[in-house]
Amino acid sequence: RQGMISFTQQNEQEADRIGIQVLQRSGFDPQAMPSFLEKLLDQARYSSRPPEILLTHPLPESRLSDARNRANQMRPVVVQSSQDFYMAKVRTLGMYNSGRNQLTSDLLDALAKGNVREKNAAQYGQALQAMEASKYDEARKALQPLLAAAPDNPWYLDLATDIDLGQKKATDAINRLKGAKDLRNNPVLQLNLANAYLQGGQPGEAVTILNRYTFNNKDDQNGWELLAQAQGQLGNRDQELAARAEGLALAGRLDQAISLLSSASSQVKLGSLQQARYDARIDQLRGLQQRFKPYEKM
């Protein structure tokens, strides 16, 4: 058994060596590898249950030391973080904060002293903080200079939509989003527009967008949830149930998804094309259940 463990560890270190070389040759910072491994090790050290990857890929101190030594032998690479990175970081910390992971004033102050990308992120973060606190006028004032400089920036449009809807100004949100250059190619803006139509009492317009959206983005629960809401507002009970079923299926709750689809099937005309579609989807989900059954007891 010890021989198998040693063999596995050697393979892991060899994979790390190749990975570090790939990072360096691709223009990325090779120090990112030991930094990532160190974060995994820290999570395992202070948690009763380690990250899932460590259950099958052990991470002894020797592996971390080997990765760090290899990275130190390579030419350092300075990688500038993109504007999208800073925006994503600020938005994630601002909207999904927990424990130490929060959008603090200290972080925003530090960003405000950085380069242009960091300064923009700091300004965006201030607007986000105000919006989350329901200080919509303050949020709009903080966001306005950014939006004026880059009116088609999806991060700014997304936050502007949240502010509009918070102030019950759905029409303003709709008009702004309809004029966005990247609307056709940006799923976030499409969902925002559908949500604005819903909030503005235009579920029919929302359904038009969401039918196309869920066809192209079948794995997005947000799209199915909004589609269910829109169909519910229109009184299309069977289609509302079918949309909710798809969201449940994505969450792995196949029994509940099948139950909702069965209810949807019973509400449409017997022998209709719509009933055939619902029944066919039920058969697909039952097939998935059978495929996953052997893993339920693992």
Task: Answer with the residue of higher pLDDT: 32 or 189.
Answer: 189
Residues 99 and 146 in one domain: yes
Instruction: Indicate whether 104 belongs to any domain.
Output: yes
Q: Convert the pLDDT of each residue in 271-290 to its tens digit.
A: 999 999 999 999 999 999 88
Residues 95 and 158 in one domain: yes
Residue 101, helix vs strand vs coil: strand
Instruction: Indicate whether 249 belongs to any domain.
Output: no
Instruction: Indicate whether 132 belongs to any domain.
Output: yes
Stretch among 91-105, 128-142, 200-214 having the lowest mean pLDDT: 91-105
Statement: residue 140 has pLDDT above 80:
yes
Domain end, chosen from 20, 46, 73, is at 73
Residues 61 and 86 in one domain: no
Angle CA 232–235–236, to nearest 5: 80
pLDDT of residue 161: 97
Instruction: Give the Å distances, CA to CA, from 43 to 58, 126, 230.
Output: 13, 30, 41
Residues 100 and 144 in one domain: yes
Residues 28 and 104 in one domain: no
Residues 23 and 44 in one domain: yes
Domain that holds residue 146: 82-167
Number of domains composing the chain: 2
Residue 98, helix vs strand vs coil: strand
Residues 86 and 161 in one domain: yes
Domain end, chosen from 167, 187, 221, is at 167
The Cα–Cα gap between 54 and 47 comes to 12
pLDDT of residue 279: 97
pTM: 0.77
Buried b (16+ CB within 10 A) or exposed e, 142-172: bbeebbeeeeebbbbbbbbbbbbbbeebbeb
The Cα–Cα gap between 83 and 53 comes to 30
Instruction: Indicate whether 242 belongs to any domain.
Output: no
pLDDT of residue 109: 95
Instruction: Indicate whether 131 belongs to any domain.
Output: yes
Instruction: Indicate whether 226 belongs to any domain.
Output: no
pLDDT of residue 57: 63
Residues 108 and 42 in one domain: no
Domain end, chosen from 31, 56, 73, is at 73
Residues 87 and 42 in one domain: no
Statement: residue 293 has pLDDT above 90:
no
The Cα–Cα gap between 225 and 239 comes to 12
